[in-house]
Amino acid sequence: MSALLQLIVVCILIQVLILVYHLTGPPKSLSRFTRTSSHTAPDFSHLAEHCAHVPPIPAASFLERQQSLAQTLHSLNASAYIAEPGASAGYFANLSGSQWHLSERPLLLIISPEINSAEQVHAKVSILTPAFELTRAKLLPLPSSIDIAYLAWPEDADPFAVAVSAIPSLSEGTVFVDGMTRNFIVDGLQKATPGSEVVVSPVEIRRLRERKSKEELEIMKCVNEVTLLAIRAVRDNMYVGMRESEAHRMIVSALAAAGLQDPGALTLFGENAALPHGSGTDRVLGAHDFALIDCDGSLHGYHSDVTRTFALPDSTVHAAHLRLWNLVHSAQANALAAAQNGTITAEVDRAARDTLHAQGYAQYLTHRLGHGVGLEVHESPYLRGGSDDVILTGHTFSDEPGIYIEGQVGVRLEDCFYVNEDGQSIFLTEGVGGAATSPWKP
């Protein structure tokens, strides 16, 4: 046969094969490889409605926050509070880190207390912005009811000198900067204001953001509740033999279906859960394993953080592992009971550790008990030994004891709680049952 004829015959054969494939579907031996598992992608759309009724923070609340800040600054005899776009600027002016990418060119929120003619303190709000970005800065979603002064610094000027010439009070007294402000900004401010002292804001200012209002707590309850509902919904779709990565895809898709932003998740099976932040392998779930899911997401800027260590309905868990689960469960409950208005944060950490110590397991709780939570997943204050912060009404923390025995087993249970008006601690997940009650009832 000539080469041309051979080519034509091969082409016809390929066409016939394609036709047969389309008419009959893939041969059985092929379908085994084209489908990754017999389980279809689970439907989590029922989670969408849980927080649909919860409103974001209204403009009026931002004005109240600025007013409280101005009064606090005045009472501390400070001339201003300065923050870069981030959680604190998000709290005081809706200027979160997702709104403006930090670069070497400073964009700063400056709030200074001013005394009006009636001798009342009010907040003067300024945005220091690169001059060529002025139009974009004015598009930031700062509540429109705020009266904002835009201070534009040209490329050939010192941004901090521009700020001082517009706000002369910066040049004397104390200037507080948010704790997350980058060093070159603190340094530049200090050089431009030799007569003042530029220092990180003290606890009186940090507490304005740390202690949540009723409307913030409504958001935080809902976001934590729906995060727990997402874990339970994922568990309902899990099976022995699946991989950690598959559970990871499920929980991320459940959090997205719940309408949450910034989803984060750890899915760890068996002894992999003994490494609190994961192992990097993609383990298969065995019939005797616990599965650990630790996840978070945000609603209107406020974050959840929930961990469950659980068994599947038909799993048979070793009695020794079950004892560890019950011990962690007691530690979590005892820590919650210890956390009241007026308690020192270190005492709450100790309550959990003492519970484990009584059974000889204290050395397996290798991390602090918990962290503040709100506009950041981890924020001050922290529940840890050595900390002398005082817990007050409105504070929110994670309560997350664990036992980690490397190469064997890891158990962590985590719910976030708030301190109510009566000074008592309540889990933010309480509306959907609160703490787990057994590895089979997470």
Ligand X SMILES: *[C@@H]1O[C@H](CO)[C@@H](O)[C@H](O)[C@H]1NC(C)=O
Residues that bind ligand X (CB under 6 A): 56, 58-59, 77, 79, 94, 141, 143, 172-173, 341-342, 392-393, 423
- 195 φ, ψ to 5°? -85, -5
* 364 contacts 403 by C-beta, under 8 angstroms: yes
Shortest-Cβ-distance residue relative to ligand X? 173
Structure-token pair, residue 374: 């709100």
What is the closest distance, in whole angstroms, from the C-beta atom of residue 90 to ligand X in the complex?
8
Least distance (Å) between residue 196 CB and ligand X: 8
C-beta neighbour count of 62 within 10 angstroms: 21
| Least distance from ligand X to the Cβ atom of residue 77, Å | 4
To ligand X, the closest distance from the beta carbon of 386 in angstroms equals 20
Give whichever of 62 and 269 is closer to ligand X, judged by the CB atom. Answer: 62
Query: How far apart are CB 392 and ligand X at their closest, in Å?
Result: 6
361 vs 397 by CB, closer to ligand X: 397
The DSSP code sequence of 394-420 is T-EEEE--EEEETTTEEEE-BEEEEE-
Q: Which of 414, 430, 439, 438 is nearest to 305 (CA)?
A: 414
Q: How far is the CB of 142 from ligand X (least distance, A)?
A: 7
Specify the residue, 73 or 265, whose C-beta has the smaller distance to ligand X. Answer: 73
- What single letter denotes the amino acid at residue 52? A
**For residues 42 and 143, which CB has a smaller minimum distance to ligand X in the complex?**
143
> CB-wise, 171 or 237, nearer to ligand X?
171
Element at 125 (helix H, strand E) = strand 121-130
Question: By C-beta, is 56 or 286 nearer to ligand X?
Answer: 56
Entry field: residues in the chain:
442
Calculate the CA dihedral of residues 349, 354, 360, 365 and round it to 10 degrees. Answer: 0
Check: CB of residue 315 under 8 Å from CB of residue 240. yes
- Tell me the C-alpha distance between 371 and 61, whole Å: 25
